[in-house]
Structure 1
């Protein structure tokens, strides 16, 4: 414990000027502030992981919205271009959606990831248990009164008013995928804060009220054909986008099937997910077989990270013969092998610099992957892969921290992305990329979040219902 207390203080003496002008230094009034550090050399691998997890967590703790406590979507307020290469898969055309997201914009999925990171922070002793619980209770109390639609929340929300911030003309209501990330965080915290204090009991009751009210089955339109991503009070299901994969939305089916009051059926899961476009792959890339997904060489690595913040893939199989440990690890190894081959000859790519996933780039927000490689590395890709490729992820971490740290290390951890070819080093941080770094490194180190979420009785029931089993 003494090591945790001394390292930040010692390093801060040498790095104060580096971080003095960063907005993170302006405390939001929350107790237990975490002091940022610069590059600390000659430390053990374990100490390095401590620093990276703790500093990345600062994004949620120091930059959390002061009214709602939720995770802000990002820490810059400029107009961002969002590129979703699968929204219009039916006609093969990419969809560009632009929006101005100011300091009040909070992300529902990012908030769920932030709650998971907060559990890690308490368990590691970075913040006090009671202090952390008060923050999460603030979030829950805010959400109870905020916009939701049949118990399902929007993608973005104003952190002051609780009103929906539309993501698009038709996307101005419920987002079932983002809500599943939120509940992954809430149910994990409900497992963790299991004491008999009045506040812990209050919190668990609040989460259970939200959990029992969320109508996941509403997004099936009353049949077992498709589960739809969005519903709008003004546009109904006009967005008409089924949740199909394989991709980051597997957790949505698991959470939806686990609902005590409004569960989806196994038939819906089979028809909409398993029989949907692009579920099975089976091809071999760089000597690794990829069981699932329709991307050549695998899609962005967040496919293997968002769901598995809570779901432990090790020993997880389903009644279709899929080995999820193989899926998650091989997709990661394929992504790294592609970066080592580096067919487009981008500067910097190699065994210690890899990781293609969705994130900010010099072209806006892009779902980077071997099929859409623009020379941009997202640190979250390799760092959130620690449970699958610990040796290779540590190799990348040391390169990012020691070799590139003067360009990409900040008071909130690593910048979201960089491109040595284009001499571009991002300054932004995104909640959905920060959270997985904290959580997946912890799952590698202790399995904490896996144990908590997989220990939730409803989640166990949902997994069994959908045909999953653990060896």
Structure 2
């Protein structure tokens, strides 16, 4: 599989987001420690978590309560696409709302009301053999992601379900209204036809369309950001895939194992199209709920894989072999994000490092590299010049390049969400604890041969 296939979503976005819209919203006042004093690590993390949370609370699409695909506050593009809902990003947003409830950013009642709004929307939105599409309109109708991608997207559905299951576990011990909502979520989870997306094969296929069938023809092989899709597909109480689909499809009969070593750190797995490790969202998206601590199977130790991938990414920026301006121990992080020319999956390597730093890469890696991530957060927020360029109403803007003198004031749901969730996991383990408490997930992991840790 080549890089173009592995980064399918990224490449399509690169074409479509060049002409994307912006939403100008009233900028809330962001509480931030006095920069004349030295803010504590906890104060820094709370500032970033609280501000990024607001993307999913104040910045949500109002009719559905779901996450907008993007919010631009720079006024560069004409507004024509302000109502696009991100399905995967909304899964991250559900987890962010749970974190906001836990932190007291909103009340429990406010959170339950918003979650009910989202679930009511999802119950009537377009689904395709139980799977939601990549994008939706506020009326619940599919917005095609590309000409033939106008149906179910099993990966975006997995990101959404990861968040929904966290919400189910959070709500099931609450009052009667919360318990009722938990049951509605359980019904949504049970009606996703994961095994349909095998297309009769021992592998999951990313897309299916009622108009174009399997024309996208994109079997999901590892290693990349899609592990959570296989875990949930194996865990389904109603439409499960067999373990053979994981081992023959995702792991390609063991070919996924391909050790390589950079800067003293070893990758155990073959990162598709990215020999020095893929963009850092590969270490984030599947592990927002799936706890990587102690997570092992016959192919890898996933805590080690994610830690080593993150350190390779960090050291690539520190060593800066391409001599980009500003790179260093307090200014690092390569992942898929907006780029100077559209959208790109930034990663270590001469062809994949374009001189663009994405704050979400370092921030969302806080669970793996707390020292290195906090060093970047502290630099960005306590250096007045950097904070002025990088910080806005919903936290850090999506990406920047000092080399290109490029500082767009834009946000993406899929980049803001992991910041909230991973900071909360670092602070309390909340989302890991909720997701790993699902009995179906525990059974599914055992079925696939995983060792794992369920936090108390």
TM (norm. structure 1) is 0.86
Pick from 400, 409, 417 the counterpart of residue 418 of structure 1.
Answer: 400
Give, in angstroms, the shift of residue 271 of structure 1.
Answer: 1.2
Superposed CA deviations along residues 222-277 of structure 1, whole A, max 9, x for unmatched, are 232x2100000000111100111201100000011111100011101111110179
Out of 222, 225, 236, the position equivalent to 2:213 is: 236
Equivalent pair of 2:74/2:409 in contact (CA under 8 Å): no
Query: Does the CA contact (< 8 Å) of 1:245 and 1:278 recur in 2?
Result: no
Counterpart of 1:378 (choices 358, 366, 369) is 358
* Aligned positions of 1:127-166 closer than 5 A: 127-159=106-138, 161-166=139-144
How many angstroms apart in 2 are the aligned matches of 1:276 and 1:395?
Answer: 41
Q: Post-superposition shift, 1:365? A: 1.0
* Residues 1:58 and 2:82 are matched in the alignment: no
- Whole-angstrom CA distance in 2 between matches of 1:171 and 1:80: 28
Is 1:439 aligned to 2:417, yes or no?
A: no
Whether contact under 8 Å (2:197, 2:207) holds in the other structure is yes
CA contact (8 A) 2:74 2:408 kept: no
Matched, 1:429 2:411: yes
Contact kept, 8 Å, 1:246 with 1:278, in 2: the verdict is no
Distance in 2 (CA, whole Å) between partners of 1:408 and 1:328 is: 26
For residue 246 of structure 1, what is the aligned residue in structure 2?
223
Residues 191-230 of structure 1 correspond to what in structure 2 (within 5 A)?
A: 191-224=169-202, 226-230=203-207
Q: Name the CA distance, whole Å, in 1 between partners of 2:376 and 2:245.
A: 40
- Mapped contact 1:80–1:364 kept (Cα < 8 A): no
Q: Aligned with 1:283: secondary structure? A: strand
Deviation (angstroms), 1:194: 2.2
User: Which residue is 1:97 aligned to?
Assistant: none
- Once the two structures are TM-superposed, the CA of residue 123 in structure 1 deviates from its matched residue by 0.4
Shift of 1:209: 1.1
Residue 36 (structure 1) shift: 2.3
1:106: which partner in 2?
85
Offset, 1:197: 2.3
Q: How many Å apart are 1:40 and its aligned residue?
A: 3.3
Contact 2:112 2:178 in 1 (8 A): yes
Query: Once the 2 structures are TM-superposed, how far is the Cα of residue 278 of structure 1 from its aligned partner?
Result: 7.0
User: What is the deviation of 1:212?
Assistant: 1.0
Instruction: Show the counterpart of 2:375.
Output: 395
Contact in 2 for aligned 1:78/1:101 (Cα 8 Å) = no
1:180 matched to which residue of 2?
Answer: 158
Within 5 A, what are the aligned runs for 1:269-418? 269-275=246-252, 279-292=256-269, 293-294=271-272, 295-320=274-299, 322-371=300-349, 372-403=352-383, 404-418=386-400
What is the CA deviation profile of residues 350-375 of structure 1, one whole-angstrom value per residue up to 9, with x for unaligned ones?
A: 01111000001111111001130110
Q: Distance in 2 between matches of 1:362 and 1:456?
A: 41
1:44-68, Cα deviation, whole Å (9 max, x unpaired): 1111111110011100000101100
2:126 paired with 1:126 = no
Give the 3 Å change call, closer, same or farther, for CA 276–441 of structure 1 in structure 2. Answer: farther
Measure how far apart 1:442 and its partner are: 1.1
Aligned to 1:95: none
Instruction: For 2:445 and 2:173, locate their aligned partners in 1 and report how far apart those are by CA, in whole Å.
Output: 26
Displacement, 1:38? 5.5
Give the Cα separation in 2 of the matches to 1:170 and 1:196: 42
Residue 281 of structure 1 deviates from its aligned partner by: 2.9
Structure-1 separation of matches of 2:96 and 2:80: 23
Is 1:181–1:251's contact at 8 Å kept on the other side of the alignment?
A: yes
After superposition, the CA RMSD in angstroms is 2.0
SS in 2 for 1:254: helix
- Runs of at least 5 residues in structure 2 that lack an aligned partner in the other structure: 1-22
Q: Secondary structure at the match of 2:71?
A: coil
For residues 248 and 208 of structure 1, the distance between their equivalents in structure 2, rounded to whole angstroms, comes to: 24
What SS does structure 1 have at the residue aligned with 2:338? strand
CA distance in 2 between partners of 1:463 and 1:104 (Å): 37
User: Secondary structure at 1:418's aligned position in 2?
Assistant: coil
Query: How many residue pairs are counted as aligned between the two chains?
Result: 422
Query: Equivalents in 1 of 2:316, 2:268: separation in Å?
Result: 17
Deviation at 1:399, TM superposition (A): 1.2
In structure 1, the gaps of 5 or more residues are 1-21, 27-33, 82-99
Q: Is the 8 A contact 2:137 2:143 kept in 1?
A: yes
Which residue does 1:25 correspond to in 2?
Answer: 26
